[in-house]
């Protein structure tokens, strides 16, 4: 039976072959470049998919919450970095986990370092979070005095193993193409290495540099100035990455299959059962506005190329409004399925909670 015959409601499809190829490609790239590969598991959040990384020599991972660290520790992962500035209200849970695995934590304030030192009985790896231009979190790269002081504080504490500097060049997600992403990645790496040099001059070191973002890691084959890379979204990619040139469309490994519930030719729209609670509300620049997903039709055992001029332009809780040119809209009937390529696969996966592989196998995700 064709897999699409069994789908009756929004279902997140996973092309396992494409995902495995993405993993193999990034692992090989890291090995060839001589950097450690610590992939971010926040995108897939699945023990089963996590196992797809092990044949490629992956032994250390990144996560985005302490609950996620617990989940993957339970699956046998023994070297985990929590790439989120440490929440001091969870120190007791961090300490318990640090007694069972090698745990890496992030800090960007003296208060956090002090709280960790007070509450931890088991040693942890500590990374100082550096903002190299994304403007999200971390101490500013061009104010090294604060980082030097924080490093001195951490280095003096026996429960904290000061490992190095960590950044996420989130600005690459808005880069105009692979060359732009590569340039922003290189700028970010140069900035964090200026910080490393300043700390080394102050007698603090040697320190490692950990970087991580899918656009930069996809665009580059060498990672000058980095000791470790932590991309995550690359395992699935998505519409943003495809349109930015970070991947080929065939490398996008997930699509949300949604039933058509109404057609409105008079306004060039189809109404889909698949809204914000399925896709998330993330969006990408599209034509003169924004879109939440591109659209394709079922084809063979998967989905075809993006339909020209078609995108989900509006969302309600349960429904998505798919804007379509007349010639594309005429191809649809109520009850058909449309495969949506999400703007951001991480958030869509989080919203859906499990995957249906193209060969009909359900893969469960972590549940909070």
242 found inside a domain: no
102 and 222 co-located in one domain:
yes
Would you say residue 368 has pLDDT above 70? Answer: no
In the chain, the number of structural domains is 2
Range of the domain at 168: 40-231
Same domain as 226, residue 326: no
Residue 173 has pLDDT above 90, yes or no: no
- Angstrom distance (rounded) from CA 293 to CA 314: 10
Q: What is the CATH number of the domain that holds 328?
A: 2.40.37.20
The pLDDT, as a whole number, for residue 27 is 98
**Bridging pattern class, strands 11-14 and 254-264:** antiparallel
> Are 213 and 278 within one domain?
no
Query: Quick one: pLDDT at residue 177?
Result: 87
Mean pLDDT value across residues 8-35: 98
Q: Are residues 213 and 334 in the same domain?
A: no
94-98, 116-120, 212-216, range with the lowest pLDDT: 212-216
Does 159 map to a domain?
yes
* Shared domain check, 318 and 258: yes
Examine residue 64 and state whether it is found in any structural domain, yes or no.
yes
Mean pLDDT along residues 35-60: 98
Cβ neighbours of 44 (radius 10 Å): 29
Confidence at residue 170, expressed as pLDDT on a 0 to 100 scale: 78
Q: Is residue 201 part of a domain?
A: yes
Instruction: Read off the pTM.
Output: 0.96
Q: Is residue 23 part of a domain?
A: no
Separation CA 237–CA 19 (nearest Å) = 9
Over residues 221-255, the pLDDT tens digits come to 999 999 999 999 999 999 999 999 999 999 999 99
Examine the domain organization and report whether 168 and 59 are in the same domain.
yes
357 has pLDDT over 90: yes
Cα angle value 242/352/84 (rounded, 5°): 75
Q: What is the pLDDT of residues 311-320, one digit of tens each?
A: 999 999 999 9
Hey, which residues does 125 pair with through a beta bridge? 104, 161
- Give the pLDDT confidence score for residue 226 in this predicted structure: 96
Q: Contacts for 25-31 with beta carbons within 8 Å, 24 or more apart?
A: 26/217, 26/218, 26/231, 26/234, 27/53, 27/56, 27/57, 27/58, 28/56, 29/217, 29/221, 30/223, 30/229, 31/57
The answer on 271 and 159 residing in a single domain is: no
| Phi then psi dihedrals of residue 57, to 5 deg | 80, 10
Regarding whether 301 and 226 lie in a shared domain, the answer is no
Does 52 share its domain with 179? yes
Give the CATH number of the domain where residue 62 resides.
Answer: 3.20.20.10
**117-138 mean pLDDT:** 94
pLDDT band at 333; cut points 50, 70, 90: very high
Tell me: pLDDT of 360 over 80: yes
Of 186, 206, 231, the one marking the end of a domain is 231
What whole-number distance in Å separates Cα of residue 305 and Cα of residue 175? 24
pLDDT at 219 over 70: yes
Residues 48 and 133 in one domain: yes
Residue 94, pLDDT > 70, answer yes
Considering the domain boundaries, does residue 243 fall inside one? no
Model confidence at 88: pLDDT above 90: yes
237 within domain boundaries = no
Q: pLDDT (tens digit, 9 = 90+) per residue, 259-296?
A: 999 999 999 999 999 999 999 999 999 998 999 999 99
What pLDDT, on the 0 to 100 scale, is given for residue 218?
95
Same domain, 118 and 193: yes
pLDDT band at 175 (very low <50, low <70, confident <90, very high): confident
Q: Is the pLDDT of residue 329 over 70?
A: yes
The mean pLDDT value of the chain amounts to: 96
Same domain, 277 and 129: no
Indicate if the pLDDT at residue 169 is higher than 90: no
Whether residue 214 lies inside any domain: the answer is: yes
- pLDDT tens digit string along 255-268? 999 999 999 999 99
């Amino acid at each position: 039976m064709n897999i699409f015959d069994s789908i009756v409601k929004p279902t997140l499809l996973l092309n396992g072959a494409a995902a495995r190829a993405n993993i193999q490609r990034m692992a090989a790239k890291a090995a060839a470049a001589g950097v450690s590969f610590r992939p971010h598991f926040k995108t897939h959040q699945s023990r089963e998919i996590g196992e797809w990384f092990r044949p490629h020599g992956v032994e250390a991972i990144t996560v985005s919450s302490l609950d996620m660290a617990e989940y993957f520790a339970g699956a046998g992962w023994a070297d985990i970095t929590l790439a989120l500035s440490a929440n001091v209200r969870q120190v007791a849970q961090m300490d318990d986990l640090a007694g069972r695995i090698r745990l890496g934590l992030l800090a960007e304030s003296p208060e956090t370092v002090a709280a960790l030192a007070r509450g931890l009985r088991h040693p942890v790896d500590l990374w100082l979070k550096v903002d190299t231009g994304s403007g999200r979190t971390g101490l500013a790269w061009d104010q090294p005095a604060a980082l030097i002081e924080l490093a001195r504080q951490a280095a003096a504490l026996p429960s904290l193993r000061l490992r190095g500097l960590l950044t996420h060049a989130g600005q690459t997600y808005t880069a105009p193409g692979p060359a732009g992403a590569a340039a922003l990645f290189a700028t970010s790496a140069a900035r964090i290495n200026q910080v490393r040099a300043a700390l080394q001059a102050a007698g603090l070191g040697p320190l490692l540099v950990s970087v991580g973002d899918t656009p930069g890691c996809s665009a580059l084959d060498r990672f000058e100035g980095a000791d470790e890379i932590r991309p995550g979204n690359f395992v699935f990619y998505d519409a943003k990455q495809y349109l930015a040139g970070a991947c080929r469309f065939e490398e996008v490994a997930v699509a949300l299959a949604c039933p058509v519930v109404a057609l409105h030719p008079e306004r060039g729209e189809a109404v889909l059962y698949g809204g914000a609670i399925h896709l998330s509300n993330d969006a990408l620049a599209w034509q003169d506005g924004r879109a939440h997903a591109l659209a394709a039709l079922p084809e063979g055992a998967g989905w075809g190329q993006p339909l020209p001029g078609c995108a989900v332009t509006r969302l309600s809780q349960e429904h998505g409004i798919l804007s379509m040119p007349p010639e594309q809209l005429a191809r649809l009937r109520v009850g058909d399925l449309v495969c949506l390529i999400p703007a951001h696969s991480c958030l869509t996966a989080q919203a859906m909670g499990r995957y249906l592989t193209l060969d009909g196998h359900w893969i469960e995700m972590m549940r909070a």
